[in-house]
Chains A and B, each alone.
Chain A
Amino acid sequence: MIKKEIMQIVSSNRIALDTFEMVLKNAYISSTAQPGQFLHISLPGHTLRRPISIANVDRQAETVTAIFKILGEGTKNLSYCKAGETLDVLGPGGNGFNLENEPGSRIVLIGGGIGVPPLYYLGKQLAEKGMEIVSVLGFQNKESVFYEERFKEFGEVHIATDNGSYGTKGFVTDVVTNVGPIDRYYTVGPIPMLRAVTQKLAGVQGYISLEERMGCGIGACFACVIPLKGEEHGYKKICSDGPVFHANEVAL
């Protein structure tokens, strides 16, 4: 259940272009967070909270890792927050990924940019359950690449950059068809990427996770809705029904 908690910043480091990895300590959120859930972070001077996905959890250390990119004033101010300071957070938010798979399944994780972080915690958990993990991660350029080594901890990693400055030149969709058989995929990134991935892997079972500007972050304000596929007036709330959905559940 989502709760309002105070999290202490253990560390905050720049890990790529405009990209920060923040480790936050809180007993409740670290003990309940599932892969795919998010933190809804309040920042002084800002009316709206910022939803940031959970990249990792260390239950023993009672910490949660959040990776974010500076995309506006809110995330810029978040990047100024330092170790020792505290943040007012609603969490863990939303519903996580379904981790149930046939034993030994070959799972492909497909992440784009700031959609990459939640796949790390997911991949770690799936690997622990005995799945074979292949990661396909897309970034704008070499300077934006992060967590390549971390993803290698549990499987094969393919990197694509838009300008070819690192890894394969092109998009994750250019790579994903060359990684061999896929039993199930999990993908997180901007909607155009999700659309391309779900079309390319139309015959394969998959899960997607969406990002959207949020208001309350708990399902009350109807700011972050997405239409259901093939159902008039049908919709889901990204913050509370999602952010994870079946690949063919919502109209991208």
Chain B
Amino acid sequence: MIDLSVKLPGLDMKNPIMPASGCFGFGREYSGFYDLSKLGGVTMKAATLNARYGNPTPRVAETASGMLNAIGLQNPGVDKIIANEVPFLAQFDTAIMANIAGSTAEEYIKVAESFNETDDVHALELNISCPNVKEGGIQFGTDCGMAASITEKVKKASKHPVYVKLSPNVSNIGEMAKAVESAGADGITMINTLTGMQIHLPSKRPLIANKTGGLSGPAIKPVAVRMVYEVKQQVNIPIIGMGGISSAEDVLEFLLAGASAVAVGTANFQNPLICSEIIDDLPRVLEQYGFSSVQETIGKGIQ
């Protein structure tokens, strides 16, 4: 019997698989395809203080082995998420992480405080790495001092463990990780998307209305694995790894690189059943490579 369970701050997971924020909405649509209780956890779509419409369309474009997106954090606002979406997800036996975003430090704090109202959310993911909004988001995630400061403030405001989602669009991701760890982060999730662009030849203009978008999918997996590998050696808090995962083999790669759990993003669009299928396949892959638990794989690839 292969033991898939992992225990992370706030997140008691029966397996290391969770859908990534923004790729799973609030779970409703995917619940028509399989029982969400099967998931180790779910990360909800980003919550801001007030409702946000997001960017104009087109918001997505396919690329070689991946896609660009610039949704722009569209969401109904934290109060409606707590009232309507959290209770829906809470019916399922799975850990729930709320992704929080904002334009200002005050907004992040208010959103974090709002989630103190509910015990059905088990951890926060501090989104300081969204490349698709004009204010906030990534500006907090590309400067060590600002990242540490916002982490500290949210940590102080929240009763839940706080994971900080790191951007790959930085010159030294290890420094960012250390900065948020020393500011009190309970864990790190990484990586968010890489900023990219595609020019539409018929119109001779950027295809995405926002001009730039975040690159995700298998194209970014080697970047993500490399970054997890580097960060694991520089911090002592757990890492939830993500970036182009679409198979149980990909999951094992991230675990060996140092992730304690993983999030699956873009692959949900290709195959709405992907998380469920990976969970079914993971024991076989662990066994094939001589492991009897997820726990013993974590960081094993680091030399």
Contact = CB atoms under 8 A, between A and B. Distances in A.
Contact of B270 (A42, A74, A240): A42
A4 interface: yes
Interface residues of B, number: 36
A201 B217 CA distance: 44
Given A47-B65, A48-B269, A49-B270, A225 B74 contact: yes
Contacts of A48: 60, 62, 67, 269-270
A88 B52 CA distance: 34
B271 A221 contact: no
A166 interface: no
A223 B272 contact: no
A1 interface: yes
Contacts of B271: 4, 42, 88
Nearest to B51: A233
A2 B30 CA distance: 10
Nearest to A238: B57
B273 A214 contact: no
A220 interface: yes
Contacts of B59: 213, 215, 222-225
A213 B71 contact: no
B53 A227 contact: yes
Which secondary structure dominates where chain A touches chain B?
A: loop
Most chain A CB inside 10 Å of its own CB: which residue of B60, B61, B71: B60
B23 interface: yes
Interface in A221-248: 221-227, 233, 235, 240
B158 to A, nearest CB: 25
B62 A46 contact: yes
Nearest to A72: B62
Interface string A1-13: 1111000000000
Interface in A208-223: 212-223
5 contacts: A215-B269, A218-B272, A219-B25, A219-B29, A225-B57
The 10 A-B residue pairs with the shortest CB-CB distance in the complex, in nearest-first order: A220-B25, A223-B60, A220-B29, A218-B29, A216-B269, A48-B62, A223-B59, A213-B58, A222-B74, A219-B29
